[in-house]
Structure 1
Amino acid sequence: MYGSVLVATDGSDASRAAVEEAAALAAPDGTVHGLFVSEDLPMYTRSDAAATVAAASGGTATEMETTADAEAALSTVEKHAEAAGVDHETDIVEGVPARAIVSRAAAVDADAIVLGKRGLDDVAEDILGSTTERVLRDTDRPVVAVPA
């Protein structure tokens, strides 16, 4: 069991499994740190409905959808941590996912990083190399890769 566990989530099936695993790996007096990394995405990847809501509220469609996605994904972290009886903290950051995950793990002094093996963007990951693979290369902390 680990005292401090960082789990990155994007709302995918694999990241939901990672959240469950992170809560199970945390020591009874430990903390699960949930992280959602927001990347700048082209507007054509967002829905027209989100653009309409965002325009009416003064935000952008990307900001509105990303915030909703992040809150939904991080609520799963809170739910599983509470069910396991461990503390939890959640954060939303912008950046390149692998860099942000490694940086956040250092900032919270995580004893382990838990990730889903595959996220929402399987095609890009096949071409560019997955976030999980990059985190494995760039960190000196234990990494647990959880299948969906």
Structure 2
Amino acid sequence: MDRRSIFTIQYLYIGDEKIKELMQNLEMRKVEAIQFTFRQVANNFTKVFKKLVPHGSGHLVLRTSKDHNGDNGEGEVSTSDDFTGIGIRVSFTGGDAEMREMNQLSGGQKSLVALALIFAIQKCDPAPFYLFDEIDQALDAQHR
């Protein structure tokens, strides 16, 4: 190989390393943005749910692939692909022992949780207006 070929290979290797470094940096920023936004929405959800259900409590949980591997999800997340979804745990009586997942709720309770989530997101990124049609259809008289 001549010197020109070696220089070209070294130049390509350095360029490849810089591109990989940039990709890792962008991925790290994306993970941080997802976590930051989730924390804001989760905090707002807890507050809004408390206003809608004064004796209740609600929390959002960020699910990761580590949750499925026996870990409780509190470890470091390295890529945005590690995020698998969001879980919602609520109690309408206020007791932590009675926290329920969405599939355990009645239609009216699911409507209240959905409203709390919409309002929590709205607090982070307000829209000019919202149009709700028959959102109280599944609600009982107590929660209307």
| TM-score normalized by the length of structure 2 | 0.29
More strand by share: 1
More helix by share: 2
Larger Cα Rg: Structure 1 or Structure 2? 2
More RCO (CA 8 Å, sep 6+): 1
